[in-house]
Amino acid sequence: MAKRRFYDCNLSEKILYSAFLVLMGIGYLMALTYLYASHELHDGEPGLSINDVAETYYGNRSGTRLEAALRGPMSAYISTDDRTEIVAWLKSGGDKAAFESNVNPVIERQCLMCHSSEAAKQFGNIPPLDSYDSVRSLATVDTGLSLLTLVKLSHIHLLGIGLVLLGIGFIFCLAELNPYLKYALILMPFTAIVADIFAWFLTKWDPVFAYTVVTSGGLLGVAMAAQIFISFYQIWFLKPRKALKDSA
Ligand code: HEC
């Protein structure tokens, strides 16, 4: 008996496979949208760039969140002298006595009208600056996602995507295709997701691996899309060779 192909499937199977492929396709697009929206503004520039990816995992170690804000979005609210004062305090280790004498007066004068704890409660993106502790919490070096968070995200991704790939690949096995191309397309997304997640950890260590994250993520998408489109097309449009001859 010949190998089983999509044209050997009954209508129930075709409907089931198609519905699953469409669902996974939509799910993947949602994942991409979320990825874009949540990473886009990491480096302060609109659009998802390699820098956004690097800063997600590696952080921005050239400074603290407070210094980054004072040089970036908050620079309009502070004079150069006052900023130098706060940056010097950050560089000196940020102790409490120097905070009370040099930093707090500036913050009270320049920042508190917007950064009170009431405002912070009302708007999630405004950090409160009304105490030593709250300012101090913005004075730590930004080192990106923590290892624990990465492990958490890794296991969710590996287990979840593994099952999705099993489902899509199981259907794709019925496609009529050059066998070597088929083996490669089945193996490719599994390799890509492992490389992608491995590269998250490497990027935490060296931001250059952000390129690996993006490349392997792209390969995962390409392989999944290829499996979905080839399967979907063959389910509904591929006729067995014999039938082609009969109709010719
Ligand atoms: C006119 C209101 C206003 C003033 C004055 C102001 N800020 Fe802000 N600040 C905001 C708003 C709104 C945000 C959140 C949106 C954003 O990040 O642009 C913010 C965000 C921040 C952040 C968080 C940035 C991040 O990493 O997400 C820091 C830190 C900060 N401000 C520090 C300061 C300091 C220090 C001063 C005083 C020199 C100051 N701000 C003065 C309105 C203000």
Residues 183-237: pLDDT tens digits? Answer: 999 999 999 999 999 999 999 999 999 999 999 999 999 999 999 999 999 999 9
pTM: 0.66
* Residue 90 in contact with ligand 1 by CB distance below 6 A: no
Q: Indicate the burial class of 91 (C-beta count within 10 angstroms; 0-12, 13-18, 19 or more).
A: exposed
| Alpha carbon separation from 204 to 59, 144, 235 (Å, rounded) | 8, 7, 43
Q: Which of 28-37, 60-69, 73-82, 156-165 has the lowest mean pLDDT?
A: 60-69
Residue 1 has pLDDT above 60, yes or no: no
User: What whole-number distance in Å separates Cα of residue 67 and Cα of residue 46?
Assistant: 20
CA of 245 to the centre of ligand 1 (A): 72
Closest approach atom of ligand 1 to CA 65: 26
- Mean pLDDT across the chain: 90
Residue 70 has pLDDT above 90, yes or no: no
* Average of per-residue pLDDT across 136-164: 90
For 96-121, how does the pLDDT look when each residue is reduced to its tens digit (9 = 90+)? 999 999 999 999 999 999 999 888 88
CA of 122 to the centre of ligand 1 (A): 14
According to the model, what pLDDT value does residue 240 have? 86
pLDDT band at 170 (very low <50, low <70, confident <90, very high): very high
The full set of domain ranges for the chain reads: 6-54+144-240, 62-142
